[in-house]
């Protein structure tokens, strides 16, 4: 298969997967471009023993983690700049953003394979049969893993709401 065909076939899946990791389309686009550059350079090393999509997702995940490490340097500067902006009444927006951020923190700390299955299903919009192919498992395994991850998130949200109510 020509690399142009690989790009055309899988760029959307890789983009959605990166959106699930980063929660930002701009970051996902940047990392996706870098992912396909790396894939093009390493296409000769792909042995075909796995699904090419899984190979691309692995490159994308590692590229995203590298991106995050690079961006951590700038995070403190951006945080300081955002604090100096004029204050606007955004208490509800802040509460929703804080809640979403805490859920993303919980998701980020969640054990594998729950974290990745949940991200692929929700953010990557992949069907269970595709997710199961990535892990070499059955679609039933993917469903159970997804629902267990979802249950853990719901339980975490309930605890978070109870703590908020006690304050």
The one-digit pLDDT tens for each residue of the chain (167 residues) are: 577 788 888 888 888 888 888 777 888 888 888 888 888 888 888 777 777 888 888 888 888 888 887 776 555 445 444 544 433 333 444 456 677 777 778 888 888 888 888 888 887 778 888 888 889 999 899 999 988 988 888 888 888 777 766 66
- Model pLDDT, residue 1: 59
Q: In 3D, which of 167, 144, 161 has the Cα closest to residue 103?
A: 161
Q: In 3D, which of 123, 117, 103 has the Cα closest to residue 149?
A: 117
- Model pLDDT, residue 27: 85
- Domain at 89-167, CATH from 2.30.40.10, 3.40.50.1700, 1.10.10.10, 3.40.50.10490: 1.10.10.10
- Model pLDDT, residue 141: 92
For CATH 1.10.1740.10, the residue range(s) in the chain are 1-85
- Would you call 91 helix, strand, or coil by DSSP? helix
Give the global pTM: 0.46
CATH number of 1-85: 1.10.1740.10
For CATH 1.10.10.10, the residue range(s) in the chain are 89-167
Q: Is the dihedral of CA 145, 150, 151, 156 positive or negative?
A: positive
Angle of CA points 73, 124, 61, to nearest 5° = 40
Distance in angstroms (rounded) separating the CA atoms of residues 53 and 6: 9
The gap from C-alpha 153 to its chain's centroid, in whole angstroms, comes to: 15
Distance in angstroms (rounded) separating the CA atoms of residues 90 and 38: 41
Tokens matching residue 40: 């093009």
Cis omega (within 30 of 0) for bond into 167:
no
């Amino acid at each position: 298969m020509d690399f142009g065909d690989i790009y055309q076939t899988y760029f959307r899946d890789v983009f959605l997967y990166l959106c699930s990791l980063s929660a930002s389309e701009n970051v996902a686009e940047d990392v996706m471009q870098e992912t396909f550059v790396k894939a093009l350079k390493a296409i000769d090393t792909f042995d075909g023993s796995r699904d090419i999509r899984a190979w691309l997702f692995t490159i994308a995940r590692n590229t995203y983690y590298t991106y995050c490490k690079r961006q951590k340097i700038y995070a403190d500067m951006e945080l300081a700049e955002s604090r100096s902006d004029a204050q606007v009444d955004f208490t509800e927006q802040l509460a929703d953003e804080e809640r979403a951020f805490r859920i993303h923190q919980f998701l980020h700390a969640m054990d594998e394979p729950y974290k990745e299955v949940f991200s692929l299903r929700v953010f990557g919009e992949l069907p269970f049969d595709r997710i199961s192919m990535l892990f070499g498992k059955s679609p039933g395994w993917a469903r159970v893993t997804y629902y267990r991850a979802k249950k853990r998130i719901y339980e975490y949200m309930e605890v978070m709401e109870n703590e908020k109510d006690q304050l």
